[in-house]
Amino acid sequence: MTDCSALPSDRGTDFLPANGTQSLTPLMMILIEIALAAGGFGIGTGEFVIMGLLPDVATTYGVSVPEAGRVISAYALGVVIGAPIIAVLAAKLSRRTLLLMLMGVFAIGNVTSALAPDFWSFTALRFVTGLPHGAYFGVAALVAASMVPPYRRARAVGRVMLGLTIATLIGTPVATFIGQLMSWRAAFLMVGAIGVLTVVLIALYLPKDKVAEGASIRRELGAFGRLQVWLTLGVAAVGFGGMFSIFSYIAKTTTDTAGLPVGMVAIVLALFGIGMNVGNVVGSRMADYSLKGTIGGMLAFNVILMTVFSLTAADPVMLCICVFLTGCGFAACPAVQTRLMDVAADAQTLAAASNHSAFNIANALGAWLGGLVISWGYGYGSTGYVGAALSALGLVVFLVSVLAEKRSSSR
């Protein structure tokens, strides 16, 4: 029999319970996707809620807001480091077991973060909490894709990622409100509770699966010996840094460049969140029709869009339109995740998990370069030009990937 660690087949569901007596019904697949998406919702809420609560954290621990910002970097560093290391070390674990362990660590990390007695312990705990982030999304995407035919893989991945995009629209604002009303510690306790709920849902609905035959650390490390894996990760790390370049400074762009009142910042952020959800749903469908077309098309679209963003950032209406469309750029995420499954061959766990390390590198790169041009005096609207340049560079990397693939096939 086949199991969830096998490549998707055209039969429709190759994720079978370990006892081999029952295939997945449509209801079971829906419940599994809900369970996996719940984890994404918790991770997304936990990752972004700190941005709205930094002043409260700084006050609690008696540090400046910029110093408190180190906890964001610590979490991102945990994501980048944790994804590949966990994927390799857990090569011989079943995916159900690994998901339960990852979400357990995430839940414990958030609860203990809420109880941290001093700033350095809080920073260390945010690093630890970030470790399971990438591996969870990578394994969850593989499980979702393994339950459906190949022509529906991206949509299955998109439904799991919907938990993350909904978190930006609902989870983060609600957790921020709770944190401001009660305490920032309450917000992290809430995120920890979502993690516990996810553990329960996965334990209830995801059948036990068998470890893939021949699974080993050496086989997973083989992913890093494939040029296409590196090129696809390069597309994510560079090409989508533009989204983060714009988003990192969108509050100041809204007030200082477009001249809108502070109260409008929340609405602009909501537009970005709505865009991410629209992009995720539409992009996953596009990817099932044309995987490469979706990735290349979105990169080209971002070059134009982000240039327009910089040219029109002073116009409130255009700013809102461009922010919404920038959020729609998330459409490429399910496509990139699915392409990694294709190019990684039998080392899918490492490749899929590393995708989120790449996106966090894009986050750091975009924010750093955006801040650099602002410090040079070009204004907050200039972050769009940075985004356009990164998207263009990502498009070049993608074209190199496609050409290399064609030459390999012709041989």
The pLDDT, as a whole number, for residue 306 is 95
Q: What are the structural domains of the chain?
A: 1-215 (1.20.1250.20), 222-411 (1.20.1250.20)
Mean pLDDT across the stretch 223-250? 85
Please name which of 162, 142, 125 lies closest in space to residue 39, comparing C-alpha atoms. 162
- Stretch (H or E) spanning 387: helix 383-410
Structure confidence at residue 219 (pLDDT)? 67
CA gap 121, 126 in Å, rounded: 9
| Cβ–Cβ under 8 Å, residues 113 and 188 | yes
The alpha carbon of 47 is separated from its chain's Cα centroid by a whole number of angstroms, namely 10
Q: Give the CA distances from residue 1 to residues 20, 147, 209, 213, in Å, rounded to whole numbers and listed in that order.
A: 7, 14, 11, 11
Residues whose CB is less than 8 angstroms from the CB of residue 72 and which lie 6 or more positions away in sequence, other chains included = 50, 51, 54, 126
Q: What CA–CA distance (Å, rounded) separates 44 from 333?
A: 14
pLDDT at 77 over 50: yes
Position 100 scores a pLDDT of 95
Rounded Cα distance, 187 and 327, in Å: 25
Helix axes of 26-61 and 153-166: crossing angle, nearest 10 degrees: 30
Of 102-111, 212-221, 268-277, the range with the lowest mean pLDDT is 212-221
Q: What is the pLDDT of residue 213?
A: 62
Residue by residue, DSSP assigns 265-277 as HHHHHHHHHHHHH
